[in-house]
Structure 1
Amino acid sequence: MRAKDVLGRRGEEFAADYLEAQGMRIMDRNWRCREGEIDIVAFDGDALVIAEVKTRKSLEYGHPFEAVGVEKLARLHRLASAWCREHERRPPQRRVDVIAVLDDGIGEPALEHLKGVG
């Protein structure tokens, strides 16, 4: 497995643990369909949360949040609808969150969580 993939998996694991510690219920990880993939699907109370996780070793190439643009957000909203259809869910609220993980391999990774992006 490539170092980038290992870093990404570690970041997603760290993010999932964080969301659970915040009281969210993880429903799916790396859910895929024709349109793409959702890193984490969770419920925050009654709200469906589609979490996109971006992990970097450093800020050398920009902040991880910068990797989630308008097109990616639109795709995540479409994926949320696809997940709801496949799982026959109609949550009263849906939102897309973005989680940035900075993990230089030394000590605990740093995590930032933006709720309700786009």
Structure 2
Amino acid sequence: MVERMNREKDNRRQKGAVAEQAACDYLASRGYTIKERNWRCRSGELDIVAEFGRILVIVEVRSRSIGTRYGTAAESVDYRKVRQVRSTALAYLHYRQEEERELRFDVVAIELDGGLNTANLQHIEAAF
């Protein structure tokens, strides 16, 4: 039982890493500059912090496997997650002394196939 749980956790981490890399590659191809990945503090983690022109963009990356029954990756961004990301972003701005920056929150929702390849990528600008 414990071995199965560890395997599932490792698989989830691997899927998350693949999705975050796909999101970074996508954003970079669209002219975004990736400043940080997986920035952590006491209140949580920011998946990607990027710049697009003068805008600082906090990007929440969500992934799902194709055919998952629990809704889409984009639908998994609930009120609790929005609140946590906003709180962590405020800590980031304070820590980096960038409180005056224009800020935007985006979501990159990714569907992965069985081989962990990107089957679908949706970029939602100003998602929350």
The question of a shared fold, defined as TM-score above 0.5 by the shorter chain, is answered with yes
The question of whether the paired residues in 2 share the 8 Å contact of 1:47 and 1:94 is answered with yes
- Write out aligned runs for 1:60-79 (5 A): 60=68, 61-79=70-88
Instruction: Count the aligned residue pairs.
Output: 118
Q: How far is the alpha carbon of 1:106 from its aligned partner?
A: 6.8
* Cα distance in structure 1, aligned partners of 2:15 and 2:55: 29
The aligned counterpart of 1:9 is: 17
What runs of 5+ residues in structure 2 fail to find an aligned partner? 1-8
The aligned counterpart of 1:86 is: 95
CA pair 94-113 structure 1, distance change in 2 beyond 3 A: same
Q: How far is the alpha carbon of 1:92 from its aligned partner?
A: 3.6
Q: Secondary structure at the match of 1:8?
A: helix
Runs of 4+ in structure 1 over 6 Å off: none
The question of whether the paired residues in 1 share the 8 Å contact of 2:73 and 2:110 is answered with yes
Identity of aligned residues (%): 36
Q: How far is the alpha carbon of 1:90 from its aligned partner?
A: 3.4
Q: Secondary structure at the match of 1:23?
A: coil
What runs of 5+ residues in structure 1 fail to find an aligned partner? none
Which of the residues 24, 29, 37 maps onto 1:21?
A: 29
* Cα distance in structure 2, aligned partners of 1:18 and 1:29: 14
The question of whether the paired residues in 2 share the 8 Å contact of 1:25 and 1:44 is answered with yes
The aligned counterpart of 1:42 is: 50
The question of whether the paired residues in 1 share the 8 Å contact of 2:74 and 2:107 is answered with yes
The question of whether the paired residues in 1 share the 8 Å contact of 2:18 and 2:116 is answered with no
The question of whether the paired residues in 1 share the 8 Å contact of 2:15 and 2:116 is answered with no
Superposed CA offset, 1:71-99 (max 9, x none): 21122111111111111113541111011
CA pair 50-107 structure 1, distance change in 2 beyond 3 A: closer
* Cα distance in structure 2, aligned partners of 1:103 and 1:18: 15
Q: Provide the aligned C-alpha RMSD in A.
A: 1.6
When the two structures are superposed, what TM-score results if normalisation uses the length of structure 2? 0.85
Q: How far is the alpha carbon of 1:107 from its aligned partner?
A: 5.2
Tell me which moved more, 67-76 or 45-54. 67-76
* Cα distance in structure 2, aligned partners of 1:69 and 1:106: 24
The aligned counterpart of 1:117 is: 127
